[in-house]
Amino acid sequence: MILAGRRVILGVAGGIAAYKAAEIAGTLVKQGVEVRVIMTRAAQEFITPLTLQTITSHEVASDMFTPRSGGVAHIEAARWGEAFLIAPATANIIGKMAAGIGDDLLSTIVLAFDRPVLVCPAMNVTMYKNPVVQRNIQALSALGYYFIEPGSGRLACGEEGPGRLAPTAEIVARLESILGGSGDLGGLKMLITAGPTREPLDSVRYISNRSSGKMGYAVAKAAAERGADVVLVSGPVALSPPDGVNVVFVETAQEMHLAVNRHFEWCDVVVKAAAVADYRVQAQPGKIKKGATPLTLTLEPNPDILRDLGERKGRRVIIGFAAETEQLETRAVEKARNKGADLIVANDVTRPGAGFDVDTNIAVFAYPDGRTVPLPLMTKSALAHRILDQVLDLREDGADNG
Ligand code: CTP
């Protein structure tokens, strides 16, 4: 049982489907999941805390201000849970989440929670289709929140259409894939590069670029969480290595090339998020002395690691990145073709919210067949998951152009 022993917070918001929380909690408990329930006040109009307390063998919390010994309720709950399941999620809680409002225990825990949140909307069809609600769902999805679409059918209000809470089996299956022991990338061997390279000028100085490594680290973290075996070849960055990832630190492009080559035979997938310096300096031993005349540095080209791998890719999936300042789509498609990549994740580094050292990105997926798919602004973590979804699709398609 994939979920046995995992810790899930079940948030129950106030809609008629709240009574179904009993079935969800019961199914999870049967699978060996430890479930703690947080209810809104409105939810208690539809189902009693006693029901959920009895099913989960844990006291149900709903009040921010109940005096208690020990720590702060919402922070403790947020630290305890490995995943936060909100079922049912009303338009109200979704709106509060999208706006960053914490005015009761449930919404405050959401704000304090930094692990996967799975939201299961259930509401009247017109409410669900309301553009404001749809906008909130899209905004939250872009930030990395998971959603299960409601089912269609006759709703409690008598209307027909989407709005029914998704079936328990579907919710549990989704939770398994999010939290899963093996995960949907289980067994996949992934080689990921991240960060800048440093090219020495002499024994003291170097040239480099503004890459922070955040994108590559986000892909490595997400891949490990989804069960992949990950080797991360990293240039110098100020980030902590993600849990469960084997990190190989390198400095120069040539060192990165060597480290990547060492793991290439082993891997099934390559994600080259590193900003590799295109040139290296003909380095001089010792320290260059200053003088009154201009100093000329001679740069020689570095190997293009991605292209080199693309030429001998075999059945591997190869994903590259492209930082552009103009003609984003056209250049990204060209790069995919020239470098033998199955996908290029391109971003216009001049746009606010994209590029260096920020936590978000605005990317376009570009494929060698000329297709391009623009994505909205999202966190690098959410983009990492989208890229990993592509890995699965590309493997199904049997990526093989070499
Ligand atoms: N890349 C690489 N080796 C290099 C240069 C780039 O492996 N020597 C990889 C990067 O890791 C990235 C992709 O190629 O996945 C695209 O990098 P980018 O700098 O956008 O493209 P370049 O090929 O360097 O082209 P240009 O700078 O001319 O746009």
Query: pLDDT tens-digit profile of 204-232?
Result: 999 999 999 999 999 999 899 888 999 99
Question: At CA 113, angle to CA 108 and CA 119, rounded to 5?
Answer: 85
Ligand 1: centre distance to CA 291 (Å)? 34
Ligand 1: centre distance to CA 304 (Å)? 7
Nearest CA to ligand 1 atom 21: 322
Q: CA 206, CA 280: separation in Å to the nearest integer? A: 9
Q: Please report whether residue 85 resides in a domain.
A: yes
Cβ atoms of 343 and 366 closer than 8 Å: yes
* Look-up of token digits 């049982």: 1
Mean pLDDT, all residues of the chain:
90
Coil, strand or helix: which one is 282? coil
Q: Is the CB of 309 under 6 A from ligand 1?
A: no
Question: Which residues contact residue 290 at a Cβ distance below 8 angstroms, ignoring those fewer than 6 apart?
Answer: none
Q: Is the CB of 219 under 6 A from ligand 1?
A: no
Note whether 254 and 175 are same-domain residues.
Answer: no
Ligand 1: centre distance to CA 322 (Å)? 6
Instruction: Show which of 133, 159, 180 is a domain's final residue.
Output: 180
How would you label 103-139 residue by residue, b for 16+ Cβ within 10 Å and e otherwise? ebbbbbbbeebeebbbbbbbbbbebbeeeebeebbeb
Note whether 152 and 256 are same-domain residues.
Answer: no
Note whether 226 and 343 are same-domain residues.
Answer: yes
Maximum CA extent, the chain: 85
Domain that holds residue 244: 189-401
Q: Please report whether residue 150 resides in a domain.
A: yes
Nearest CA to ligand 1 atom 8: 304
* pLDDT value of residue 10: 97
Q: Is the CB of 323 under 6 A from ligand 1?
A: yes
Residue 65 above 70 pLDDT? no
Q: Is the CB of 305 under 6 A from ligand 1?
A: yes
Ligand 1: centre distance to CA 136 (Å)? 36
Note whether 227 and 144 are same-domain residues.
Answer: no
Give the phi and the psi of residue 336 in degrees, each rounded to 5.
Answer: -60, -45
Q: CA 365, CA 372: separation in Å to the nearest integer? A: 5
Query: pLDDT tens-digit profile of 103-155?
Result: 999 999 999 998 889 999 999 999 999 999 999 998 998 888 989 889 887 77
- What mean pLDDT do residues 38-64 have? 92
Q: Please report whether residue 256 resides in a domain.
A: yes
Nearest CA to ligand 1 atom 6: 276
Higher-confidence position of 87 and 361: 87
Cβ atoms of 142 and 97 closer than 8 Å: no
Q: Is the CB of 18 under 6 A from ligand 1?
A: no
Residues constituting the chain: 402
Q: Residue 225's domain is classified under what CATH number?
A: 3.40.50.10300
Note whether 162 and 217 are same-domain residues.
Answer: no
Ligand 1: centre distance to CA 305 (Å)? 8
- What mean pLDDT do residues 188-204 have? 95
Note whether 343 and 253 are same-domain residues.
Answer: yes
Joined tokens for residue 389: 């979804």
Q: Is the CB of 321 under 6 A from ligand 1?
A: yes
The atom of ligand 1 lying closest to the CA of 322 is 20
* pLDDT value of residue 360: 83
Mutate to test the pocket of ligand 1, among 257, 335, 345 (most ligand atoms within 8 A of CB): 335
- Report the run of H or E that residue 234 belongs to, with start and end: strand 229-234
Instruction: Show which of 180, 210, 235 is a domain's final residue.
Output: 180
- What mean pLDDT do residues 56-82 have? 77
Residue 39: what residue type? M
Work out how many domains the chain is built from and give that number: 2
Q: Is the CB of 306 under 6 A from ligand 1?
A: yes
Ligand 1: centre distance to CA 2 (Å)? 40
Question: At CA 244, angle to CA 187 and CA 391, rounded to 5?
Answer: 45
Note whether 258 and 160 are same-domain residues.
Answer: no
248 DSSP β-pair partners: 233
Q: Please report whether residue 2 resides in a domain.
A: no
* pLDDT value of residue 189: 96
Residue 263: what residue type? H
180 pLDDT tier (thresholds 50, 70, 90): low
- What mean pLDDT do residues 294-323 have? 95
Residues belonging to the active site: 157
Ligand 1: centre distance to CA 356 (Å)? 15
Q: Please report whether residue 16 resides in a domain.
A: yes
Note whether 14 and 139 are same-domain residues.
Answer: yes
Q: CB atoms < 10 A from the CB of 67, how many?
A: 5
Cβ atoms of 297 and 201 closer than 8 Å: yes
Instruction: Identify the DSSP state of 202.
Output: S
4 pLDDT tier (thresholds 50, 70, 90): confident
402 pLDDT tier (thresholds 50, 70, 90): very low
Counting residues of the chain whose pLDDT is more than 90, the rounded percentage is 66
Q: Please report whether residue 93 resides in a domain.
A: yes
192 pLDDT tier (thresholds 50, 70, 90): very high
Higher-confidence position of 1 and 311: 311
Q: Is the CB of 368 under 6 A from ligand 1?
A: no
Q: CA 286, CA 103: separation in Å to the nearest integer? A: 62
Q: Report CA torsion sign: 8, 11, 17, 22.
A: positive
Q: Please report whether residue 106 resides in a domain.
A: yes
Note whether 165 and 220 are same-domain residues.
Answer: no
Ligand 1: centre distance to CA 395 (Å)? 23
Note whether 46 and 94 are same-domain residues.
Answer: yes
Q: Residue 156's domain is classified under what CATH number?
A: 3.40.50.1950
Note whether 28 and 146 are same-domain residues.
Answer: yes
Which of 34-48, 242-256, 346-360 bottoms out in mean pLDDT, i.e. has the lowest? 346-360
Instruction: Show which of 134, 150, 180 is a domain's final residue.
Output: 180
* pLDDT value of residue 371: 97
Nearest CA to ligand 1 atom 4: 304
The atom of ligand 1 lying closest to the CA of 338 is 23
Residue 363 above 90 pLDDT? yes
Note whether 311 and 387 are same-domain residues.
Answer: yes
Q: Please report whether residue 1 resides in a domain.
A: no
Q: CA 374, CA 389: separation in Å to the nearest integer? A: 15
Query: pLDDT tens-digit profile of 149-173?
Result: 898 877 777 888 889 999 998 899 8
Q: Is the CB of 367 under 6 A from ligand 1?
A: no
Mutate to test the pocket of ligand 1, among 317, 319, 321 (most ligand atoms within 8 A of CB): 321
Q: Is the CB of 336 under 6 A from ligand 1?
A: no
Which of 67, 54, 124, 44 has its CA nearest to residue 92?
124
Q: CA 367, CA 379: separation in Å to the nearest integer? A: 22
- What mean pLDDT do residues 174-200 have? 86
